[in-house]
Chains A and B, each alone.
Chain A
Amino acid sequence: MEQIIANGLYLGAQYALIALGLTLIFSLMNVLNFAHGQMYVLGGFVTYTIVAQFGLPFIVGLFASAIVLAVVGALIEKFLFAPVIRKSKREESTMLLAAGIAFFLDAVILLVFGEKQRGVPKIVNGVLNWDFRIIMPYDRILIGVLAIAMIAGFILFMQYTKAGRAMRALAQDRMAAELMGVDVKRYSMIGFALGAMLAGLVGGLLVTITGINLGMGGPTSIKAFMMIMIGGAGVISGAIAGGFILGMMESIGLTVLAAYGDITYLVIFASLMVFLAIRPQGLMGKPWG
């Protein structure tokens, strides 16, 4: 049981961090960013390049991932999403744009980084073995702690900084925020950059554990969408809750249901369908949006 909880917490921390970026972008701009997984992958490849190719410390790679993805996110918002949102009132326009960006990033990643699985050396060696009740490599513990620290940092940023307050105001009521003098264009771009940066940071963190490859983008996006559906789209606390719930469900399922084959995600999806039928707005979302 201890092992299941430890695995669930570790998975939950990384999932929550992935979901945060997605839900932030959704809350600010009402955009379903299907390219979120590809941004995660790009972040992983940036860290890989800095650490494995250039031989620089892991922390430099992590910072590089954050900066590169923040810039990519800002550019995507400024030159792609902002004009489309301005010109089109149809929500599917931004959805199609996001899907197009996902395909584009996939192609760019293939061209630049190649088709192979990539990884960087372990940042910490050794395994915690607590009487065979919990076995957890130290690097996973470190990554889990870093992910939780980043979630805490993100919450503090949103709570206590001017930019954070502006973005929360935007998320609550775009028009009211604009009337109160919030620079909507600027904070939309900052919000998108922050969301992309979070995706890049998780990619950079996890490249030390899971490695990274071209095909990880789509499945990552799907999991991120599941998390915000569980927690409630556009709600930060909901994304965190969704991440930890999904991580725990996965951990329990993979242990308890192992004897019945790979039915963990079948059970999770079935549960999600029932849950959404009862509470379509998710745990913490509001029925009116």
Chain B
Amino acid sequence: MKRRTLLKTSALAAVASLSFLGMAHAENPVLKIGFVGVTSGPAAAWGISNQRSMETRAAWLNELGGYEIDGQKYDIQIVAFDDQKDPKRAIAGMEKMAQEGIHYVVGPNVDDGAAAVRPVAEQNGIMYFPYAFPKELYTAPASNAVLGMVANYQSGPAIYKHLMENEGVQKVAFVAANESDPLSQRDGGVEAAKALGLEVVSDSVTYQVDTTDFTPVLLPVIQTQPDLLVLSGVSPANAPQLIRSARELGYEGLISTETAQDATVLQEGAGELANGFISVGGASTPELASDAMREFVDRYTKMFGEYNDESNTKVYALEYILETIKANPAAMTDVEAFKTTMDTFEAPNPYMVGDAKLTYVGTSSFGQKRQVSVPLVVNVFKDGAFETLFVAQVD
């Protein structure tokens, strides 16, 4: 009898504990934010840095007791879907987000995926934040996509102009991978260079992303003796190899790209040959990063073992979504309210020192505010780390 009582008591205690745990969990309602992007295969680094940035920030907010919107604290849950850089998978991912009742999605990472999900997003009332540059995604009548970074046609002219004025660059050559994103970025870069009066000495050389020896690829480009070699849309995997091959072929001019890179990858792959390489980054350089940015980097490193410099830009999308919903709580389930708020939205930028603001921009490029305002920080690589070359704003 005593044994039975003990069992009953234990069972009741267990049920009570579980209920308590459940109540503790259920204390805050959950706000789900989606991510649809590439987290496997050759371009995995792009999407993984997105997903991990979101997960790091969500865990941080949840640890602080949740994110407060209209007096109610919410636990942030990231729902991720790997589209494997395949537009069909991206559509399936966006449909999954719709089925889960999610209204805000970060991604996809590439042009064709971002274009493919547009009908699904528009039909299901989803705002999405791609890292892809086609203007038609952000130009009316489209209105559900918000560019999550600075486009190459915005950063390219700024970089070329700076290098013309400060480094005397006159001749420029372009090399791109034979894929839609790098090719469209190359075409945009060539157009911008010509508009600035630069002489484009080579723009037809392309390469397969799985190239193992870039010497034969770069040889005809280097022979045109450019002052600036632009690696259009180069992935972090290919950048060190291209830089190394160019330098080994005796090229002594400048090398730049309009994509974000990772300092560790450059250091491991090209070492001191990468010194002077110019790329676009976020706000993590010591002179720009706030305490919050440093804490974000620490938390990310603790969660995943190693930080990815691409996250300097990718930290922003989730922040914009949450801050905009906070500014207009009706936007939590109504993306039309979100769109209305975007026009006047402004909040402090927690990741940069000074009085930097989070605002939506893009009027100049898209005719409407469909781009997050992240600082255009142009970095130069030196001895294993990035240094800020110059900072600009985009609109």
Contact = CB atoms under 8 A, between A and B. Distances in A.
B215 A114 contact: no
Interface string B208-228: 111011011101100000000
A223 B205 CA distance: 21
Contacts of B265: 116-119
Contacts, number: 117
Interface string A137-160: 100100000000000000000000
A129 to B, nearest CB: 7
A288 B210 CA distance: 34
B83 interface: no
A136 B42 CA distance: 27
B208 A265 contact: yes
Contact of A262 (B206, B249, B264, B271): B206
B269 A127 contact: no
A116 B262 contact: yes
B240 A214 contact: no
Contacts of A122: 271
Contacts of A114: 305-306
Nearest to B238: A117
A137 B246 CA distance: 11
B208 A262 contact: yes
Contacts of A117: 45, 236-237, 240, 265, 268-269
A219 B208 CA distance: 10
A119 B212 CA distance: 13
B241 A211 contact: yes
Contact of B216 (A4, A106, A259): A4
A115 B45 contact: yes
Contacts of B220: 255, 258-259
Interface in A225-269: 250-251, 254-255, 258-262, 265
A209 B213 CA distance: 8
A216 interface: yes
Contacts of A223: 210
A129 B250 contact: yes
Contacts of B42: 213-216, 219
A220 interface: yes
A135 B206 contact: no
Interface string B266-285: 00111100000000000000
A219 B210 CA distance: 6
A11 interface: yes
A93 interface: no
Interface residues of B, number: 40
A45 interface: no
B19 interface: no
A121 B271 CA distance: 7
Given A135-B248, A251-B216, A211 B240 contact: yes
Nearest to B265: A117
A215 B43 contact: yes
Interface in B80-97: none
Interface residues of A, number: 47
Nearest to A255: B216
Nearest to A132: B250
Given A209-B213, A219-B210, A116 B249 contact: no
Contacts of B71: none
A3 interface: yes
A15 to B, nearest CB: 9
B243 to A, nearest CB: 11
B237 A254 contact: no
B312 to A, nearest CB: 15
Nearest to B273: A122
Contacts of A140: 213, 215
Contacts of B237: 117, 211, 213, 215
A136 B213 CA distance: 11
Given A116-B262, A117-B265, A137-B248, A215 B236 contact: no
A281 interface: no
A169 interface: no
A261 B216 contact: no
Contacts of B390: none
A287 B63 CA distance: 67
Interface string A86-114: 00000000000000000000110010001
Nearest to A4: B216
Interface string A45-82: 00000001000000000000000000000000000000
Contacts of B213: 7, 10-11, 140, 209-210
User: What 5 A-B pairs come out closest when comparing CB atoms?
Assistant: A215-B42, A219-B210, A262-B206, A119-B269, A262-B178
Interface of B: 39-45, 48, 178, 204-210, 212-213, 215-217, 219-220, 236-237, 240-241, 248-250, 262, 264-265, 268-271, 305-306, 308
9 contacts: A117-B265, A118-B269, A127-B248, A136-B215, A140-B215, A211-B268, A215-B209, A220-B210, A258-B220
